[in-house]
C-alpha cells in the first residue's frame, strides 16, 4: 500500500508540474520592423519612428541651413546637445537623437562633430598618441572642428485619466541654435502621438 500511495503522489506531482510548465511556455513571433505594436500604451519604437521622420524632414529643409550654405559657401557643422525627458515615464531619448544625427548626416546638408560624451574618449586617445604613436601618425592636439549649431530637444507628456481610462499625449520639440549668438534658428514640434488606454479589471 505504501508503494502504491507513494507512486500516486509522485504521479500527481509530475502531472501538476507538466501543467504549470505548459501554462508558462513562451511564444515569440518575429514581425516586420514597420509593424505598429503598442502593448502597454507607453512610448515605444513606433512613436520614435513617427516623431523622428516628421521632425527630421522639417529640420533638413529649414531655411537656416540653406541660408548658412549660401552665405558661407560650406555646410554648417552641428553638434548634438541634450534631449531632455520631461515626461512622466522612462524614455531613452538617445535613440531619438541618434536617429536625428544619422538622418541629417545622410542628407548631405550638414556636417556633424562628436558630442560632449564622445569627445572625452577621443581626446584621451589623442593624448595617448602623443606618447605612443609615431610622429607621422599621431594626431594633433587642439585641432578640433568647432560646431556652428547645436541640436537640442525635449519630450513632454500630458496625461488625463478617469477611472480606468486614460489618455496620453506626447509633445516632442527639437531646436537648432547658433552656438556663437544663442539665436534659435529652427524649432520643430510634433504632437501627433495621442493614445487612449483602457485598463481591464481582470487580473491573472
- The pLDDT tens digits along the chain (204 residues) read 555 545 454 555 565 555 555 555 778 777 776 677 777 888 888 899 899 889 999 999 999 999 999 999 999 999 999 999 999 999 999 999 999 999 999 999 999 999 988 999 999 999 999 999 999 999 999 999 999 999 999 999 999 988 889 999 999 999 999 999 999 999 999 998 999 998 876 554
What's the predicted TM-score (pTM) here? Answer: 0.79
Grid cell 610622429 in the structure block, residue: 135
Domains of the chain: 41-117+145-198 (3.40.50)
| Enclosing H/E stretch for 60 | helix 45-60
Q: State the Cα–Cα distance between residues 184 and 63, nearest whole angstrom.
A: 12
Residues ≥6 apart with Cβ < 8 Å to 169:
157, 158, 159, 191, 193, 194, 195
Amino acid at each position: 500500500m505504501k508503494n502504491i500511495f507513494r507512486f500516486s503522489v509522485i504521479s500527481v506531482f509530475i502531472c501538476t508540474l507538466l501543467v504549470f510548465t505548459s501554462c508558462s511556455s513562451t511564444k515569440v513571433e518575429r514581425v516586420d520592423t514597420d509593424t505598429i505594436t503598442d502593448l502597454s500604451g507607453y512610448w515605444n519604437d513606433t512613436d520614435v519612428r513617427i516623431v523622428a521622420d516628421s521632425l527630421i524632414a522639417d529640420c533638413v529643409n529649414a531655411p537656416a541651413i540653406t541660408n548658412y550654405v549660401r552665405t558661407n559657401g560650406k555646410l554648417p557643422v552641428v553638434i548634438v546637445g541634450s534631449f531632455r525627458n520631461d515626461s512622466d515615464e522612462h524614455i531613452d531619448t538617445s535613440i531619438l537623437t541618434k536617429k536625428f544625427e544619422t538622418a541629417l548626416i545622410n542628407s548631405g546638408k550638414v556636417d556633424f562633430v562628436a558630442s560632449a560624451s564622445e569627445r572625452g574618449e577621443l581626446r584621451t586617445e589623442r593624448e595617448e598618441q602623443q606618447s605612443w604613436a609615431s610622429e607621422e601618425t599621431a594626431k594633433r592636439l587642439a585641432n578640433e572642428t568647432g560646431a556652428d549649431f547645436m541640436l537640442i530637444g525635449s519630450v513632454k507628456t500630458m496625461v488625463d485619466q478617469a477611472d480606468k481610462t486614460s489618455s496620453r499625449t506626447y509633445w516632442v520639440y527639437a531646436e537648432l541654435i547658433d552656438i556663437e549668438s544663442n539665436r534659435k534658428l529652427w524649432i520643430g514640434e510634433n504632437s501627433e502621438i495621442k493614445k487612449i488606454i483602457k485598463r481591464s479589471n481582470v487580473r491573472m
